Chains A and B, each alone.
Chain A
Amino acid sequence: MGVNSVTNACAHLQNASRARLGLTSLPNNKYNLRLALALHRAGFVNSVTRAGPHPPPPEALLTFEPEPVTNTNVATRRLWLGLKYWNNEPVMKKVTPVSKPSRLVTATLDELSRVSRGFPAGHLKGLNLGECMFLSTDRGVLEVREALERKVGGLVLCRVS
């Protein structure tokens, strides 16, 4: 499975944020799940919950016990993401996919260190104030600073600010 679902998820999340939605859903797959968890770690989303076609009630989002995924219900599972807003502005204003199925962009550790300090490297522009970049590495989907901590490079998925 390629980065197609991540690219789609990026566009969907930006649209949902601009539409001021409180809760939105992504297709349930491993890539989306890892990206959603990385966004959660970076503080861009409130909650990540796997549920059916209808979201769990808002008050139960954090304490929700998802039913185990089985062969019978896996096709109807979705990832429900709680979106954040602050000062009448979405916290996740801009979500730009970097890699797409027709062109995968990878970055080495050196490139990442430059980009994270705001300088351009190769095809990548430097990060701006408050901007995050998510990578798919062999340690999972990581934010660029996490990847630098772990000293791993990888496939650049998207930039979020």
Chain B
Amino acid sequence: MSAARPAVRNLFSRHLASAASTPATAAVRPAVIAAAAGAAQSPSCRHHQFHSSAQLEARRRPRFKSVRAEEMGLVSEKKVQEYSDKTFPRYTQEEMEALAEQYSPAQLAALEAGEAAIDPRDLTIQGRLRVDPYRMPYIDDFAEIQPIIDRRPRKQPPPDPNARFMNLDEFTEDLIKWADKFQTGPVTGTLKKLTDFVPKEYRKKPEGQWPGAIRDRAHEDFALYIQEEASKPPTDPDVAAVSGPTDADVLEYILERSSMTDGNRTSNSALAPALPAKVPGVTGLYKNAIDPADEGLDDTGIYQELKKRTGMTVREIMGIRCAELVQRFVSNQTRLGKIRSTSSLWVAGNGHGWLGIGIAKSVEPMAANQRAKMLAIRNMRPIRRYEERTIYGNVEAKVGGSVVRLFSRPPGFGLRVSHRIFEMCRAAGIKDLSAKFIRSRNPLNTVKATYDALTSQPDPEEIAIGRGKKLVDVRKVYYGGAVH
């Protein structure tokens, strides 16, 4: 039912549109008319209709035809004169007498001159006082720009979008053009010639074709001019130097002259035009140079500083095992409220005896993680490993209230430690270890204490040297050293 409805309405409305000019009786029984509509449709409605709304038959026409003022005789000279005389009448004799009482004769003369200056016909045709409801609250013909009310006119054309910085040749040309403005005094080639003393039409013709009177006159004038020039005192070189550009001109050249190929076009704005997208000589200087040695692994440049500090390649840096061990949500209480940020502790290790921890804080957790990770990699230090699997002896370290004891263990013992120390051991490449927190188990302090313990393992060599003893590792002596 609902699917059929548009079709019915379409049919019906189509007929209504085509029968718009028919008497209103047609709308009384739409069903009957709709049935007959197929035959009554005009040819213009046969084509497909893509709208559901009623189609108009043709362009809507105004109900009344407009009549031009010319046809009504309103712009004829007679009517204009009539209107001018009626609207802008001249002062009558009585009015002049009344004015004479008010004004002095000089003022009256000025009034008359003003009246005579304005033609009433011009007032009729051009000047027009608006009477429409949207007129200004003041009388103005908008002939002047009033800075307080009006917008500043944009006299200059918009800046040249294709302008670019001048190259050396263009710059030289521009500089010469600017310097030419200050060229004063006699310069070779600026003296007048004989041809300058004849009328224009003869200037391009050879001298032989000039009429005799003109030629004689030109020769006389030229001789006079030459004498005049010769009798002038020689120009002082200092005076010539002074007549060059002043300091203000040079300053203006430096500060205000356009350095682009827009012909020193002045701008509507007091601001200098913005720099173009590509500034020659600067393009590419301030971009992160992507090192081809990075193999495209570090296009964002986050590893570049680390690369310089550690001397590792980006591939090596990315191969370092990193893990986030502690994340804390901390806040700084200011007078404007709490500023919450995230503090992260990351651990990094190469799996072969190097381990580092990094702590960073930021409002953005991602930034804190990134920074802590970089710091951890940067802080990597060698960890002493016995047989590359466990630590030397038992070590203990304390940070705050957290005391960590680490115990070396035999091969195959595994890592029987807490999950944070497990990550650290995995990063450092320690495989057999047990640990105990005998006091506080604060996450941050236990990690720090573990790192301290791992880095402060005793060195058997140093102990032996200190005591003056020869040191032998018996694990490498018994069974021919085959103890693993």
Chain A contacts for B458, CB-based, 8 A: 129-130
Closest to B467 in A: A43
Chain B contacts for A87, CB-based, 8 A: 462, 466
Of residues 462 to 484 in B, which have CB atoms within 8 Å of A's CB atoms? 462-463, 465-469
Say whether, besides A86-B462, A129-B458, A130-B460, A42 and B392 are in contact (CB < 8 Å). Answer: no
Q: Assess whether B304 is interfacial by the CB under 8 Å rule.
A: no
Task: Name the contact of B467 in the complex, choosing from A42, A89, A128, A129 (C-beta under 8 A).
Answer: A42
Distance in angstroms from A146 CB to nearest chain B CB is: 13
Task: Name the contact of B466 in the complex, choosing from A86, A128, A129 (C-beta under 8 A).
Answer: A86
Task: Name the contact of A91 in the complex, choosing from B392, B460, B467 (C-beta under 8 A).
Answer: B467
Q: Assess whether B186 is interfacial by the CB under 8 Å rule.
A: no
Say whether, besides A129-B460, A130-B458, A130-B460, A91 and B466 are in contact (CB < 8 Å). Answer: yes
**Residue interface bits A86-107, CB-to-B below 8 A is 1, else 0:** 1101010000000000000000
Closest to A117 in B: B474
Q: How far is the CA of A85 from the CA of B465 in the complex (A)?
A: 10
Q: Assess whether B370 is interfacial by the CB under 8 Å rule.
A: no
Distance in angstroms from B403 CB to nearest chain A CB is: 16
Of residues 379 to 402 in B, which have CB atoms within 8 Å of A's CB atoms? 392-394
Distance in angstroms from A47 CB to nearest chain B CB is: 13
Q: Is there an interface contact between B468 and A43, defined as CB atoms closer than 8 Å?
A: yes
Q: Assess whether A159 is interfacial by the CB under 8 Å rule.
A: no
Chain B contacts for A130, CB-based, 8 A: 393, 458, 460, 463
Q: Is there an interface contact between A44 and B467, defined as CB atoms closer than 8 Å?
A: yes
Task: Name the contact of A129 in the complex, choosing from B393, B465, B468, B469 (C-beta under 8 A).
Answer: B393
Q: Is there an interface contact between B392 and A129, defined as CB atoms closer than 8 Å?
A: yes
Q: How far is the CA of A128 from the CA of B466 in the complex (A)?
A: 17
Chain A contacts for B394, CB-based, 8 A: 128-129
Closest to A131 in B: B393
Q: Assess whether A114 is interfacial by the CB under 8 Å rule.
A: no
Q: Assess whether A84 is interfacial by the CB under 8 Å rule.
A: yes
Q: How far is the CA of A49 from the CA of B393 in the complex (A)?
A: 34
Closest to A127 in B: B393
Chain B contacts for A128, CB-based, 8 A: 393-394
How many A-B pairs with Cβ below 8 Å?
Answer: 29
Q: How far is the CA of A44 from the CA of B394 in the complex (A)?
A: 21
**Residue interface bits A29-72, CB-to-B below 8 A is 1, else 0:** 00000000000001110000000000000000000000000000
Chain A contacts for B462, CB-based, 8 A: 86-87
Distance in angstroms from A95 CB to nearest chain B CB is: 14
Q: Is there an interface contact between B466 and A43, defined as CB atoms closer than 8 Å?
A: yes
Q: Is there an interface contact between B466 and A84, defined as CB atoms closer than 8 Å?
A: yes
Distance in angstroms from A76 CB to nearest chain B CB is: 32
Q: How far is the CA of A113 from the CA of B206 in the complex (A)?
A: 134
Closest to B394 in A: A128
Q: Is there an interface contact between B393 and A86, defined as CB atoms closer than 8 Å?
A: no
Which of B392, B394, B458, B466 counts the most A-chain CB atoms under 10 A from its CB? B466
Q: How far is the CA of A12 from the CA of B467 in the complex (A)?
A: 20
Closest to B386 in A: A129
**Residue interface bits A18-34, CB-to-B below 8 A is 1, else 0:** 00000000000000000
Q: How far is the CA of A91 from the CA of B458 in the complex (A)?
A: 12
Q: How far is the CA of A86 from the CA of B468 in the complex (A)?
A: 11
Distance in angstroms from B433 CB to nearest chain A CB is: 15
Q: Is there an interface contact between A86 and B465, defined as CB atoms closer than 8 Å?
A: yes
Q: How far is the CA of A87 from the CA of B463 in the complex (A)?
A: 10
Closest to A125 in B: B394
Chain A contacts for B393, CB-based, 8 A: 128-130
Chain A contacts for B463, CB-based, 8 A: 129-130
Task: Name the contact of B469 in the complex, choosing from A43, A85, A89 (C-beta under 8 A).
Answer: A43
Closest to A86 in B: B466
Q: How far is the CA of A129 from the CA of B392 in the complex (A)?
A: 7
Distance in angstroms from A116 CB to nearest chain B CB is: 11
Chain B contacts for A42, CB-based, 8 A: 467
Chain B contacts for A84, CB-based, 8 A: 466-467
Closest to B408 in A: A129
Q: How far is the CA of A128 from the CA of B460 in the complex (A)?
A: 11
Given contacts A43-B469, A91-B466, A130-B463, 4 further A-B contacts (CB under 8 A): A84-B467, A91-B467, A128-B393, A129-B458
| 4 tightest Cβ-Cβ pairs between the two chains A and B | A129-B393, A43-B467, A86-B466, A91-B466
Q: List 11 A-B contacts (CB under 8 A).
A: A42-B467, A43-B467, A44-B467, A84-B466, A89-B466, A91-B466, A129-B392, A129-B393, A129-B394, A129-B463, A130-B458
